[in-house]
A and B are shown apart, each in its own frame.
Chain A
Amino acid sequence: MSQGKDEGKLEDLYLITLRNGPFAHESFSPSEDLLNFLWNECKVLVVGAGGLGCELLKDLALSGFRNIEVIDLDVVDVTNLNRQFLFRQQDVGKPKAEVAAAFIAKRISGINIKGHHANIYDQPREFYKQFNLVVAGLDSIDARRWLNETLIDLVETNDDGTIDVSTVIPLIDGGTEGFRGQARVIIPKMSACFECNLDLFPPQISYPLCTIANTPRLPEHCIEYASVILWPQQQPFGAGTKVDGDNPEHVKWIFERAQERANQFHIQGVTYRLSQGVIKHIIPAVASTNAIVAASCANEAFKLATYIANPLNNYMLYNGESGVYTYAFETERREECPACGRAQPKKICVSPKWTLADLIEVLREDTELRVKSPSLTVSSRALYYSSPASLEQATKENLPQSLDCLLEEGCEIFLTDPALPLGRKLQIFFHKCSKKNK
């Protein structure tokens, strides 16, 4: 083994990777290769360097992962310091990913860690492709859906239609909200993905509008009254200005109106911080919840990398609100999942001189697609909508146009149709000689 075996601090890693045990996965075989892989090859991407991210980085690095990259767009804020322990007062204003990576690199010798102060959306597919494992500690549903779909799109299929497992990158996703949290293991195209059970994700808390308007009982009701009902009425910062939770003047205005309303209804507890929290839909972060959920995620990462034990199958929820309640269960993969259930893009060869109407006719006659009234878009641009009437009117001018005026070679078209439970991607290729199969 390359790294010094004499280091006693690695003793536990040897114990669990060099011996068999009753909890090991059936394909586990004790070997020095496991640690070699962990140290020298296995590349992990940590997405998010916030509350969960700090815990994840610490846990992964101390568990033996030595090739870690972390990506986060945020900079350190003073309110992070209570729980995001890789940051210090002097780091306020600096990029989280870079500060966190530097801290870990200093603390753990021999580690190869890199921070990216960047937006996940801006990274090319190739960036994600280089990792064996992605661990996410995000707080936005948008980012999770995007990451989920990106990893699904990286999965390639063999010629016989089976999945090319070398292209599968597991996603371990942690999430916390106050005293609640969850960890899940997503093996793209093989187990349930984020989109398969979007319903499982806790909905944003919202209150009935009539309660807010007439029978407030909670401080939150008063704050929502000020931001949802009074703001549009009074337009305090000029017509059309939207509430910005990061603008102190906006928050102050809402806080003061909410306080007036709270006094009127004898409701306690409206504060400036709560007002900002309600406007920005912030649920207070609890350091221990982050620690618990991140620990579970790091466990799963270690198990997936070594098979010393069976990985979580596939969802763990944790609730520390009254004592401790936790439960692991298997979420089912949905055949009709719009992300992982979708068929591969269908390649269509057309002549560039065909009209859009010709293409639609060919699609209608396709025995695999079986569509009746397709609607087509290309990179969010409408090509043709068969319904509703107003969109049909607005797009039918495209029907007599030739495809080379409307499309570019190789582009992807989104096809939806009432007969398809999901949409389908089509990839368009131009062939001068293409003839309609009539």
Chain B
Amino acid sequence: MLKLFSLKQKKQSAQEQTENKTSSNKTTAAELRLQKDISELDTGKTLSVYFPDKNNIVEFIVYCKPDEGIYKYGCFAFRFKIPPTYPHDPPKVKCETKVFHPNIDEEGNVCLNILREDWKPILSLNAILYGLQYLFLEPNPDDPLNKEAANLYRDNKAAFYAQVQRSMRESGAYYSR
């Protein structure tokens, strides 16, 4: 049973109001959650994060540098935008480096289930970072955004590899070790 308490409490009248405008629609819970997520980003050695404005952590760039697999030596930039409804809604993530990848299209859209239909508030930004890293290690040709890449990946790994190398050179994704 609900613990008892009485509503019958004298409330102050509106006339006693002091002017003390609150103008922010941000909640402390949302801000603390984001601050916590950000300060606990697990970047390891293959990721780095860049904040264009340290006082506005809702927008930042994650550089993903796979250290194995087909995309080794590439550096791929992902722009993160955290909506005010985070963590109810997932961050918006776009790949800003052109890449030949079955799950990333020309416009930088990324097909990663937890960025859309499978997002849950209990997940954190780290879940997305892991997801992005995994995408470079194990592209998923069954859920393609770039059909040409997906077909090539499935049918002719050598040709796919060559095309990836070419696209990385063209877009300057290669970084020198």
Contact = CB atoms under 8 A, between A and B. Distances in A.
A304 interface: yes
B143 A210 contact: yes
Interface string A130-156: 111100000001100110110001000
Given A210-B103, A210-B144, A338 B24 contact: no
A246 interface: no
Contact of A209 (B7, B31, B56, B116): B116
A255 B149 CA distance: 29
B46 interface: no
Contacts of A241: none
Interface string B6-36: 1111111110111111111111111111011
Contacts of B29: 145, 149, 195, 337-339, 342
Interface string A372-399: 0001010011100111111100110000
B19 to A, nearest CB: 7
Contacts of B84: 142
B105 A213 contact: yes
Contacts of A229: 105, 107, 109
Given A43-B11, A131-B11, A132-B7, A390 B116 contact: no
Nearest to A187: B2
A232 interface: yes
A111 interface: no
Contacts of A168: 5
B48 A387 contact: no
Nearest to A202: B88
Nearest to A425: B28
A398 B4 CA distance: 49
How many chain A residues sit at the interface, stated as a range, is: 35 or more
A187 B116 CA distance: 33
Interface string A182-206: 0001010011000100110101101
Nearest to B37: A416
B57 interface: yes
Contacts, number: 209
Interface stretch (A1-9, A98-106, A118-126, A285-293): A118-126
A170 interface: yes
Given A198-B88, A313-B1, A391-B51, A382 B57 contact: yes
A383 B145 CA distance: 41
A418 interface: yes
Nearest to A149: B27
Contacts of B143: 208, 210
B23 A122 contact: yes
Nearest to B119: A203
A89 interface: no
Nearest to B32: A423
Contacts of B120: 199, 203
A245 interface: no
Given A208-B116, A209-B145, A422-B32, A310 B2 contact: yes
B2 A191 contact: yes
Given A208-B143, A389-B43, A126 B12 contact: yes
B117 interface: yes
**Residue with the highest number of chain B CB atoms closer than 10 Å, among A142, A166, A210, A229:** A210
A125 B18 CA distance: 9
Contacts of B107: 229, 232-233
Nearest to B12: A130
B40 interface: yes
A37 B49 CA distance: 58
B2 A213 contact: no
Given A142-B25, A391-B51, A124 B20 contact: yes
B140 to A, nearest CB: 9
B111 A208 contact: yes
B35 A126 contact: no
A27 B4 contact: yes
Interface string A203-226: 110111110011000000000000
A25 interface: yes
What are the nearest 7 A-B pairs in CB distance?
A423-B32, A338-B29, A210-B143, A375-B39, A121-B25, A166-B9, A126-B17
Given A210-B111, A423-B36, 20 more contacts: A26-B4, A41-B11, A124-B18, A124-B20, A149-B27, A187-B5, A213-B145, A228-B109, A229-B105, A304-B7, A310-B2, A339-B28, A342-B29, A377-B31, A380-B56, A388-B48, A390-B50, A394-B51, A414-B32, A416-B40
Interface of A: 25-27, 37, 41-43, 121-127, 129-133, 141-142, 145-146, 148-149, 153, 165-166, 168, 170, 185, 187, 190-191, 195, 198-199, 201, 203-204, 206-210, 213-214, 228-229, 232-233, 304-305, 310-311, 313-314, 337-339, 342, 375, 377, 380-382, 385-391, 394-395, 414, 416-418, 420, 422-423, 425
9 contacts: A121-B23, A124-B21, A127-B14, A141-B88, A165-B9, A203-B89, A232-B107, A391-B51, A416-B36
